Homo-oligomer: A and B are copies of this chain.
Amino acid sequence: MNRVCVVMGVGPGNGEAFVRRFCREGYKVAMLARSEDYLKQLESSVDGAHAFTCDMMEPEQIAAVLSDIKSALGPVSVLLYNAGGGAFKNVEDATLEEFEANWRLNVGGLVAATKAALPQLRQQDSASIIVTSASAATRGRANTAPFASAKAAQRSLAQSLARQLGPERIHVANVVIDGVVDLPRTRQMLPDKPDEFFVQPCAVADAVWNLCQQDASAWTHELDIRPFGETW
């Protein structure tokens, strides 16, 4: 076996955990992010990880990189779309440009990635597209307007993809994270929270890995993930 996984949007947190998990399972993993330095550092420390600099806001870059990955590593069988983030502001404090940028990162990039990856995914007996979502995808709050609307659009797109591609044995899933992921940045912002308050990236990676192992007779399209103590 010599399978190829692409992780779009690698950073400390879920993205890096996905890279490590799929490498550990024997995959060649193409890591995409804007920062070449960060990727190079990760590449040197994780066996099987390969750096591909890419800005997920730029669809032409995405198309080009997916082509490079095929040449370098072979056709992709797993696409993990982890690019995300956005503006936590209300409609007045956010600019229209922020709304658009949030859409571009969460939706436009996934459209471009899907278009570019599909011919490769279709060469496999089984393939997966997994999207990292957030509870904001399920409701718009006053101060999450740009982010929530972009994530709602992305979630709808994931459903369209699942319904189109399922019958072709391409498994599309949406992982709705409801909680704060354990990152240097979030720890600094929330210094008083105990360890157990945070979502552990390696546990998210377990969930993503399990999704990719599901038998085609029992696929999950959506699951939520939250720490045991989270209020919801």
Contact = CB atoms under 8 A, between A and B. Distances in A.
Interface string A92-123: 10001001100100011001101100100000
Contact size class for A?
A: 35 or more
Contacts of A140: 155-161, 163
B91 A161 contact: yes
A220 B156 CA distance: 20
A105 to B, nearest CB: 13
B199 A217 contact: yes
A20 B31 CA distance: 39
Contacts of A156: 137, 139-140, 148-149, 151-153
Interface of A: 59, 90-92, 96, 99-100, 103, 107-108, 111-112, 114-115, 118, 137, 139-145, 148-161, 163-164, 166-167, 169, 171, 179, 182, 196, 198-200, 202-204, 206-207, 210, 214-232
A-B complex: 3 closest residue pairs judged by Cβ atoms: A140-B159, A203-B218, A140-B160
